[in-house]
């Protein structure tokens, strides 16, 4: 697994450089935030130096003592009873003393762990421990470990390690504010995911915050959307029989029709097969009664898998079209493909004669709140009426 270790103090500088290259401005000079408020569709930030600033979105990554979190969650960090000693060793002082081509090392013992990794463009080695204590506790470890310990400063920094309760909500202010890192889910450093937790969050936040849909109610349906599709035929009716895929030009086929589209992360997967697809099958008569001409399910699977999924659910006509969004091409074009897996997201669209009248995506894994329609009046009790 490739990793990039960055010293915390260097991260804002590197971020600023990145944003300048992309013609974006990053302000790293403000003092700590005191409060945030939602005003007229914007987020207003109040800082300790009495200045204010407005933003479209705010990412609250202000650590385990998060001021922003305290506005929405009533709790406090708790001392864990543990202490960490952190020391920085210049790389030049250990060159030639390490037996491996990498400076990232983890030595495991039966009851202890020695972990080091480079930061600051491979100029400094980060070690979490006290030198004198380490020399004693790791005296029976390899010469490499003892060599690195000898290069540590005599008095490294000392940190009290706090912990916080896990929270199940990290977006606030109508989705315009997101908590990140220790402000959301603090972990003790010896728990390995601690150092990488903020970054698995990043695709999620980008997906649901920065990756706002490029297709929304009121828009025209794109003119170049083509799926792959295998029409059902009796001679190829067996689930193991393979028909021939054809290009299905959705933009052309749906230009003069009322269409309901629902997308799923994958054919034959549990939620999709047990709840999502059956819900649409059961409500086909109500859809038709409301003037729906086409009901289509879209997934990233190839057309052969989509065809087999239709047969497995006894769809032997075009009452539901099983369309392959191969490589999630269409879903990616509207920013509704899963960032981590590359699969189609779980979403729903309603298109009326070329105009999008409804578009929404599930933001919780396995949820069926906005993409499942148990009756023609709205999604799962929400006041969202299609027709």
pLDDT tens-digit map of 310-344: 999 999 889 999 999 998 999 999 989 887 678 89
As annotated, the residues of the chain forming the CATH 3.30.9.30 domain(s) are 79-160
Contact criterion met (CB below 8 Å) for 358 and 333: no
As annotated, the residues of the chain forming the CATH 3.40.30.10 domain(s) are 226-361
Q: How do strand 58-60 and strand 78-90 relate by DSSP bridges?
A: unpaired
Task: State mean pLDDT over 280-309.
Answer: 92
Helix (H) or strand (E) holding 84: strand 78-90
Contact criterion met (CB below 8 Å) for 125 and 153: no
As annotated, the residues of the chain forming the CATH 3.50.50.60 domain(s) are 31-76+165-210
Predicted pLDDT at 252: 96
The second-level CATH assignment, the architecture, of 79-160 is 2-Layer Sandwich (3.30)
Residue 294 has pLDDT above 90, yes or no: yes
Catalytic residue among 17, 61, 242, 272: 272
Q: Could you tell me what percent of the chain has a pLDDT over 70?
A: 73
pLDDT, the chain, mean: 77
Predicted pLDDT at 247: 95
Q: Coil, strand or helix: which one is 336?
A: coil
Residue 369 has pLDDT above 90, yes or no: no
Contact criterion met (CB below 8 Å) for 182 and 151: no
User: Could you tell me which CATH class the domain 226-361 is placed in?
Assistant: alpha beta
Q: Could you tell me what percent of the chain has a pLDDT over 90?
A: 24
Task: State mean pLDDT over 154-183.
Answer: 77
What are 201-231's pLDDT values in tens digits? 544 444 444 345 578 889 999 999 999 999 9
Task: State mean pLDDT over 136-142.
Answer: 82
Say which CATH topology domain 31-76+165-210 has. FAD/NAD(P)-binding domain (3.50.50)
7 is written with which tokens? 């010293």
Of 102-106, 238-242, 296-300, the range with the lowest mean pLDDT is 102-106
CA quadruple 145, 151, 153, 157: dihedral positive or negative?
Answer: negative
| Higher pLDDT pick, 107 / 210 | 107
Nearest to 309 by CA among 345, 268, 278, 270: 268
Active site residue 61: no
Instruction: Output DSSP code: residue 141.
Output: S
Strand order across the beta sheet in which 42-47 lies: 33-39, 42-47, 52-55
Predicted pLDDT at 86: 73
């Amino acid at each position: 697994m490739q990793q990039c270790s960055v010293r915390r103090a260097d991260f804002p500088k590197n971020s600023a450089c990145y944003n300048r290259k992309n013609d974006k401005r990053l302000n790293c000079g403000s003092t700590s935030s005191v409060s945030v408020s939602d005003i007229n569709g914007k987020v207003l930030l109040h800082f300790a130096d009495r200045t204010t600033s407005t933003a479209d979105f705010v990412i609250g990554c202000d650590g385990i003592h998060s001021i922003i979190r305290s506005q929405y969650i009533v709790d406090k960090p708790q001392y864990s009873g543990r202490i960490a000693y952190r020391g920085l060793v210049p790389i030049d002082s250990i060159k030639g003393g390490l037996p491996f081509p990498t400076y990232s090392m983890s030595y495991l013992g039966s009851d202890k762990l020695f972990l080091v990794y480079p930061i600051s463009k491979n100029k400094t080695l980060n070690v979490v421990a006290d030198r004198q204590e380490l020399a004693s506790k790791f005296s029976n470890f390899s010469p490499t470990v003892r060599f690195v310990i000898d290069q540590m400063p005599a008095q490294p920094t000392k940190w009290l390690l706090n912990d916080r309760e896990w929270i199940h909500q990290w977006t606030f202010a109508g989705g315009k504010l997101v908590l990140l890192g220790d402000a959301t889910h603090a972990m003790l450093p010896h728990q390995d995911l601690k150092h990488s937790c903020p970054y698995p969050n990043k695709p999620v936040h980008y997906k649901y915050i920065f990756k706002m849909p490029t297709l929304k109610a009121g828009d025209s349906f794109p003119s170049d959307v083509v799926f792959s599709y295998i029409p059902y035929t009796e001679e190829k009716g067996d689930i193991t029989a393979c028909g021939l895929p054809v290009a299905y030009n959705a933009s052309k086929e749906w230009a003069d029709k009322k269409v309901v589209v629902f997308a799923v992360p994958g054919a034959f997967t549990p939620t999709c097969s047990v709840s999502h697809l059956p819900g649409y099958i059961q409500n086909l008569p109500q859809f038709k009664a409301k003037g729906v001409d086409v009901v289509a399910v879209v997934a990233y699977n190839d057309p052969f898998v989509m065809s087999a999924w239709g047969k497995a659910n006894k769809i032997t006509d075009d009452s539901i079209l099983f369309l392959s969004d191969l490589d999630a091409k269409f879903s990616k074009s509207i920013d509704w493909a899963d960032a981590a897996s590359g699969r189609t997201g779980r979403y729903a669209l309603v298109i009326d004669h070329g105009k999008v009248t409804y578009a929404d995506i599930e933001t919780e894994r396995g949820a069926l709140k906005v993409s499942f329609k148990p009756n023609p009046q709205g999604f799962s009790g929400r006041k969202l009426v299609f027709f």
